[in-house]
Structure formats: C-alpha cells, structure tokens
Copies of this chain bind each other. A is one copy, B any other.
Amino acid sequence: MMEWINEGNILVVGLGLMGGSYAKVLSRMGYHVVAIDRNEDSIAYAIEEGIIENGATYPDEKLIASADCIIFALYPKIFVEWIKENQKFFKPGIFITDVTGVKGSVVYDVQSVLRDDVEFIAAHPMAGREVYGVRNSDEHMFHDANYIVVPTEKNSKEAIEWCKTLGHILGTRRVSVLSPEEHDAMIAYVSQLTHCIAVSLMTCNDNPHLVDYTGDSFRDLTRIARINEDMWSELFFMNKELLVKEMGEFINELSTIKELIENEDEETLKEKMRLSTSRRALFNKPEKR
C-alpha cells in the first residue's frame, strides 16, 4: 500500500469537510496523515478520532518539513497566499495537490510562484455536502464522485499518474484528466450554474408557506440552495467569464421555452422535452459513466 508515497507523512492543509474526508480515507487505509488548520477544535477532534496522527493550528515548520506530499483543501485565495509564505519549509522534490473548485485562476498562479524543486498537480474531487467542518467529514463522500486531474504543460507524467492514483485511493468512481480551461468550462455549466439556479429558485418567490407543498422535484432542485456564501462567491468570481456565459445561455433557453408555452407551440415544446428526456436518460446508466 505504501508504494504510492514513501513511508512519510501526508499533510492536509485545511481540515474542513473536504480535507477531513481526505484525511479519514487515507488514515483508514494506513497512511500517516497530519494536518494544519487554524481551528483548534478541528485539530483536537481529528486527533482524538484517529483521523490524523498529529496536527498544528499554525504553519508549523517541522510538521510541514515532515510531509512527503501535501493536499491543500483551502479557499482559493488563501491557498495561493499560504504557498507563498510557507513553501520555504517544503521538503525538496515533493508533489502538492489541491481540491479547489476552479482551476484557471489558481493553477497558473500557484505554479508560477512555486519553488522549482516542488511540483503542484491540481485536482478537483467533484463531491460535497451541505454541511461543513471536519466533524461532518465522510470517508464515503467520494464513492459516487468524479475526480478530475487538471495538469498544465508544467506537469510531469509522474505527477499526473501520482495524482490519478490518489483519486483511486480515495475510492472515486471515475478518474479523468482535463485542462484547466476545459475544467472551468465544464464546472461553470455542471456545478456553478446549477447552484445559481437553486439560489434563484429560493429567492425569486417570497411565499414561505409554499414549503408546505413542495414535492420531490422542488426539494431536489433546491438541495444545493444551502450554500456556503464565502466559498461560492469566491468560486463564482474566479470563474466569472465562463459562468456568466453559461447563465446567459441557460436564461435564453428558458426564455425560449417560456415563449413556446405562451404561444402554445406544442410540437416544438415536445421536441425540447424529447431531447431533454433522451439526454437525461444517459445519466441513469452508471456502468457507462
């Protein structure tokens, strides 16, 4: 099992829901996991629960220097700052990776400031919950998730393979590789647009008693309307151009469907529904994913 890295430590920086879930899986599999998080309770809890072996609430030089790889589970802006300030403690030759939900504006920044003897290979585990913190972390969170490795021209084959292996170790359903640009275009449509829609659904109608009548469909569409405003506003702004484009295309399409209903254009409306049905049907075949 220890072939993947040396007999050393995996350092998780940022022990929230995502970092905590990484730590949980890796510890359960026998890896040595340590963590840094500003929140004292998170570190104490994680040590007590055996999620990490050791931790610090500040960038502890010894702990950082003990790491044979580092997983960053921070908000994007803090992430870049943290690297600048603390990379002097990194062990030479290590790989570092992340979990950040946008890539274009993060990966190039990090790679450009990073020491030459350390390699940053970006990744995005497409998983989440509507809850926060290490206490809610879940080692099963990745079982139905896509794990995307996001290399640039600066990355070595070795680092890409190492990062793909991490995805498999986490137990993600599907490991794939996209460029930062492909990743951000995909995420704008598949994740960020859907969060904007869910929020709009909750805020467009000021009729709280409607909650009494919601069916499954409304509940499903708005599950992600419980949103961490600090994280998501940062992610939205960092992917602004692509997200705004997807939102515009969606608004146009919904406006078209509104017109079809207004004009009772039955045939065209049914065509849209048939296209929708056939495309959505593809999702229900997990073996083909």
Q: Which residues of A contact B (CB under 8 A)?
A: 126-128, 144-146, 148, 174, 176, 178, 186, 189-191, 193-205, 207-208, 210-227, 229-230, 232-233, 236-237, 240, 243-244, 246-255, 257-258, 261-262, 264, 266, 269-270, 272-277, 279-283, 289
Number of copies: 2
Measured between alpha carbons, how far is A68 from B155 in the docked complex, in Å? 75
| Chain A interface, DSSP helix/strand/loop, else mixed | helix
**Are the C-beta atoms of B127 and A215 separated by less than 8 Å?**
yes
Given contacts A146-B213, A227-B277, A237-B266, contact A272 B203 (CB under 8 A): yes
Given contacts A229-B270, A270-B233, contact A253 B203 (CB under 8 A): yes
In addition to A197-B201, A222-B283, 16 A-B residue pairs with Cβ atoms within 8 Å of each other are A126-B213, A126-B215, A127-B215, A128-B215, A148-B213, A190-B210, A196-B258, A199-B273, A200-B250, A200-B253, A211-B289, A217-B224, A220-B223, A226-B276, A250-B254, A251-B254
What's the minimum C-beta distance from A105 to chain B, rounded to whole angstroms?
Answer: 13
What's the minimum C-beta distance from A73 to chain B, rounded to whole angstroms?
Answer: 17
Interface centre among A126, A230, A262, A273 (most CB of B within 10 A): A273
What's the minimum C-beta distance from A211 to chain B, rounded to whole angstroms?
Answer: 5
**Are the C-beta atoms of B253 and A258 separated by less than 8 Å?**
no
